Structure 1
Amino acid sequence: MRDVLNGQEMKQCDENTMKMGMLSAVLMERAALSVVKEIMERYPDDDTRILTVCGAGNNGGDGIAVGRLLALQGYEVGICFAGNPEKMTTETARQMKIAKNYNVPVLTPEEAFQENWDVIVDALFGIGLSREITGKYADIIKELNVYYEGAGKIAVDIASGISATTGEVLGTAFQADVTVTFGFEKRGQLLYPGAEYTGALKVEDIGFTTESLFDIIPGLHVLEKEDLDMLPKRTAHSNKGSYGKLLLIAGSEGMAGAAVFAAKAAYRMGCGLVRVATVESNRAILQQLVPEAVLAVYNDTTDVVKFVETQLAWADAVAVGSGIGQSALSEKMVKTVIEQNTKPCLFDADALNLISKNPEWLQFLKNGAVYTPHLGEMSRLIGTSIAEISKDLVGAALQYAQKNHVVMVLKDARTVTATEKRGCFLNLSGNDGMATAGSGDVLSGVIGALLAQGMLPEDAAPMGVYLHGLAGDAAAKKLGRHSMMASDIVDGITDLLKEQEDTIEQ
């Protein structure tokens, strides 16, 4: 697991490093050297013409140093200074003096843009940018993106115009092919739309380490393959009851697929027993497609309160909502789960829509419940537009999790899992082939199975999201992203866990 910092945390980390005795000039030189190394590997021909576009802040100082070092390596370089000379930081002024002493050409934007350049290095704004870019700076960035469209684009630390904390585009932003960042990944480089402007992200060690954090507790983490060691273990002396009993309340008439995907995913994740509570009309479909599942069916005449209470008594964990619709019966079942259940529980899809219509139910909700809304469902839950939520996925997820004492899995291209005890997790596994019907039902089955096998909700949710994405990556590798269906993600779980078992056995 690795930490991801927001803009303020990274700024404090920088200050802490200097408190430890590291000189700002040394950090700047090491930053510049790491960018130069990347450029020289990508563009080994020293006939390459390179323009570094620099502001007055320390990010601009990095860029000036990059230009000077490249010039000393024989590249044809121009340093375009676009900032206000009177507002240069001490280190940037020092770098400008050094560059001039080495006779590196320093150009105005007007002079620079009259020439052709093979590579553009963006060092206009760093991680401290918090306001919208307007005026001449916006014009410069647009010029770099449009006029120099075919040139290589390298961003120093962060693409100018991207919020380091939220990934928002602050007015306009530099479109980088690669960003060389320092010490830690920044949230805005991993969240969309910032990720699209970041390009390939390279993290370089220039002196920022975990020792530099001092008392900073990073609020965002990314799971890695090594974290799969947290998965529930299997033992030779065991039986089906050893691996948990999951109750899935899923599928309404015409929506049997949701129950099928969730049940198959849960079994593939190693759950010992999966009971599907669904409408009578889904019986034959489930018996044919998931014969391993235990069925509990209901119809319009069923006393669903007693029905649900009976199923809850059997289960070790519950997942409710996939494809259940929003009928009166479904409403009674979800309400009963909220009021009566004491087991780890996941709420998805229609269960969340019903909760958004009946917010008073939240007073009965037990701590540790897992919510898995997509942006539309989240919008209905909190009464805020999708556009507003998208501006700060981490903040929206964490605020709801803390207010309602739940684990919030906010599904998007980069899913955020917010917990009260473990902070937030940003998922980097998965691909666009998973944007297909039934993918969310598979996720419900994956997380539900982990809950049934004894993982705590704050661990099961981010791990389930990560595994779900890895399974999607396995499916994409086999089939390609265009052709993927939810059933392929289920098959990907098999491939993924087999690979993990083989690794452990070796």
Structure 2
Amino acid sequence: MNKCVLSASGSGHPVVCWLLTAAEMKRCDSNTSEIFGVPSVVLMERAALSCVDVIVSRQKKLEEQAGQLGLHPKRRVLIAAGGGNNGADGIAIGRLLLQEGYDVSFYLASGEEKASELLKLQLHTAKAYGAVICDTIPDGEYDIIVDALFGIGLCRPAEGIYREAIEWINAQDAFVLAVDLPSGIETDTGAVLGCAVRADVTVTFGFWKRGLLFYPGCKYTGKVICTQIGITEDGFLNQTPEAFTFTAPVAELLPARPEDGNKGTFGKVLLLAGSEAMAGAAILCGRSAFYAGSGMVKLSCPTLIHPVIQTALPEAMTADSVEASARWADVIGAGPGLSLSDRARKELLFVLQQTLQPLVLDADAINLIAKDEALLQELIEHQQNPATRRKLILTPHPGELARLEGCAIEEILKQPVFYAKKWANRLQAAVLCKGARSIAASPDGSIYINRSGNSGMAVAGSGDVLTGIVTALLSTIDDPFWALCIGVYLHGLAGDLAAHTKGEYSMTSNDIAEAVWAVLVKQEKNYV
């Protein structure tokens, strides 16, 4: 993990939320018990208590509301447990609810002979308190169902009695709490393995799991509550997880602006963007660069569209070619609305071969490189050589990344983390795979998974806005990966603000750009 990720916030707000794979969580869990001596059964009891707290708190609110109407909500609970330690969590939850006076039924799908050692211990304790363990789902109606069939270890489709149990749970009119992860969701990818429980609340332990964020898994989780049960960052043993997302306000992630700065201090951005048919892309990109803090913006684009750009964005300068302005720039962004014309290719070729400034490649810049094998290989060779390597960011959507890879877009959609990491390593660059959960990868293997944003951002020009933001940030932030992560986060927050005012159906990319400044002002007021 890049050191800047760990030290960006000085205000006490957490900077990142770690997003663990199944293997990372198991290792951390094991270290907590084996290295630090916290017994697994203690961790399990705390996990069960955290789930019980959620159920009891909800029930009290229901009873208070119902009491005002003379009603009396029932407390009928079903614990649906599997044969592993997730099932043991479920049995412990049921035992604690039983002690709280709830009417609890227990269903053990695996049978006791296949139970893990911790599950056998929990079964013994539950029986001592009067629990009756059933090997079929007891007949009756339930107000609350605890899904503890599978934990983080599931790697194949749920079948047989497990599939039947999941489908039965989904058919009930009950409040469903999933323990750690809804059964049927793959921990690392969020994939649905055959079928999955649709939870109202998921209580996850210690740290978030990647599958709770990725689609389609995140559509099954309901509200996610991450509770601390004693598995802390100490359990990483200095081997930090690969993936994270932001929790700090975006204003705290940005570098401070010196009070004695000038327009040159805050970054001179050169954008190779726009064409005769797509002047709007250049305008959106340039406007967003200004809103993200750039002091000066120059657009290299065909002379024919200069009047359009100067009218829509009078703060920006224009140039007929990138060659005339290359030395002027602190950072270069290329691609939005560029087209695949001979002029565009010539300009991009000059940027790649004759400039050394930090560079952001998007859209048609990526498409031009993908269709020119010689150009692609030259870029790879330059980036693999420390003597010629430049600071580089790529921001493709899955289609553009598929063109680079030479594969079907479906392959990228199946494994976005894999391909983002592959190209980050291959180009020694920060690489983004855009999507509902955009994924940024660094050459050292770190992964940022973005949570901000909404469906209204799936609109023409949204990527142009992102390129402007990221290019502006790269002019004042030394680490390309950090600049990319913050840029994606800010872009999504601006999209969320735009959706709040315009609605996801009606918002445009210009609304996103216009919201960038408002996000920063709002966060400054809240946190500075």
Same fold (TM over 0.5): yes
The answer to whether residue 266 in structure 2 is matched with residue 243 in structure 1 is yes
CA distance in 2, matches of 1:362, 1:251: 22
In the alignment, which residue of structure 2 is the partner of 1:317?
331
In the alignment, which residue of structure 2 is the partner of 1:234?
257
What TM-score comes out, normalization by structure 1 length? Answer: 0.93
How far 1:480 moved relative to its partner?
2.5
Instruction: Note the 1:157-196 alignment, pairs <5 A.
Output: 157-196=180-219
How far 1:165 moved relative to its partner?
1.1
How far 1:229 moved relative to its partner?
2.5
CA distance in 2, matches of 1:71, 1:501: 48
CA contact (8 A) 2:322 2:351 kept: yes
In the alignment, which residue of structure 1 is the partner of 2:126?
99
The answer to whether residue 459 in structure 2 is matched with residue 432 in structure 1 is no
> Residue 167 of structure 2 aligns to which amino acid in structure 1?
K
Instruction: Note the 1:27-426 alignment, pairs <5 A.
Output: 27-44=43-60, 45=63, 47-109=74-136, 111-112=137-138, 114-145=139-170, 147-148=171-172, 150-226=173-249, 228-297=251-320, 307-365=321-379, 366=383, 367=389, 368-421=391-444, 423-426=446-449
Q: Secondary structure at the match of 1:59?
A: helix
The answer to whether residue 22 in structure 2 is matched with residue 7 in structure 1 is yes
How far 1:456 moved relative to its partner?
2.4
How far 1:338 moved relative to its partner?
1.6
CA contact (8 A) 1:397 1:408 kept: yes
Q: Secondary structure at the match of 2:131?
A: coil
In the alignment, which residue of structure 1 is the partner of 2:68?
none
What TM-score comes out, normalization by structure 2 length? Answer: 0.90
CA contact (8 A) 1:421 1:458 kept: no
Q: Secondary structure at the match of 1:122?
A: strand
CA distance in 1, matches of 2:375, 2:58: 57
How far 1:295 moved relative to its partner?
0.6
Of residues 446-455 and 318-327 in structure 1, the stretch that sits farther from structure 2 once superposed is 446-455
The answer to whether residue 39 in structure 2 is matched with residue 23 in structure 1 is yes
CA contact (8 A) 2:421 2:445 kept: no
In the alignment, which residue of structure 1 is the partner of 2:488?
465
> Residue 315 of structure 1 aligns to which amino acid in structure 2?
A
Of residues 333-342 and 461-470 in structure 1, the stretch that sits farther from structure 2 once superposed is 333-342
Q: Secondary structure at the match of 2:252?
A: helix
Q: Secondary structure at the match of 1:77?
A: strand
How far 1:209 moved relative to its partner?
0.3
> Residue 506 of structure 2 aligns to which amino acid in structure 1?
S
Q: Secondary structure at the match of 2:466?
A: helix
> Residue 352 of structure 1 aligns to which amino acid in structure 2?
I
In the alignment, which residue of structure 2 is the partner of 1:502?
525
How far 1:387 moved relative to its partner?
2.8
CA distance in 2, matches of 1:188, 1:142: 20
CA distance in 2, matches of 1:392, 1:177: 28
How far 1:502 moved relative to its partner?
3.3
CA contact (8 A) 1:244 1:454 kept: no
What is the aligned-residue RMSD (CA, Å)? 1.7
> Residue 111 of structure 2 aligns to which amino acid in structure 1?
N
Give CA deviations for 1:192-249 in whole Å, capped at 9, x if unaligned.
1111112211001111001111142211111223463231322332221111111111
CA distance in 1, matches of 2:239, 2:414: 24
CA distance in 1, matches of 2:125, 2:521: 57
Task: Sort the Cα spacing of 1:119 and 1:503 in 2 relative to 1 into closer, same or farther, 3 A.
Answer: closer
CA contact (8 A) 2:362 2:396 kept: yes
What count of residue pairs does the alignment treat as equivalent? 492
Give CA deviations for 1:404-437 in whole Å, capped at 9, x if unaligned.
2111011011111101247111111112221111
Give CA deviations for 1:18-76 in whole Å, capped at 9, x if unaligned.
11111111111111110111111223346221111100100000001111111111111
Q: Secondary structure at the match of 2:301?
A: strand
CA distance in 2, matches of 1:257, 1:151: 50
CA contact (8 A) 2:249 2:523 kept: no
Q: Secondary structure at the match of 1:309?
A: coil
CA distance in 1, matches of 2:237, 2:335: 43
CA contact (8 A) 2:498 2:512 kept: yes
Q: Secondary structure at the match of 1:181?
A: strand
Give percent identity, aligned residues only.
42
Task: Sort the Cα spacing of 1:484 and 1:3 in 2 relative to 1 into closer, same or farther, 3 A.
Answer: same
CA distance in 1, matches of 2:378, 2:269: 22
CA contact (8 A) 1:53 1:120 kept: yes
CA contact (8 A) 1:68 1:104 kept: yes
Q: Secondary structure at the match of 1:318?
A: strand
How far 1:454 moved relative to its partner?
4.1
Task: Sort the Cα spacing of 1:92 and 1:173 in 2 relative to 1 into closer, same or farther, 3 A.
Answer: same
> Residue 126 of structure 1 aligns to which amino acid in structure 2?
G
Give CA deviations for 1:276-302 in whole Å, capped at 9, x if unaligned.
1112221221111101110113xxxxx
CA contact (8 A) 1:58 1:91 kept: yes
Q: Secondary structure at the match of 2:322?
A: helix
CA contact (8 A) 1:422 1:458 kept: no
Task: Sort the Cα spacing of 1:43 and 1:389 in 2 relative to 1 into closer, same or farther, 3 A.
Answer: farther
Structure 2, unaligned stretches of length 5 or more? 1-15, 64-72, 384-388
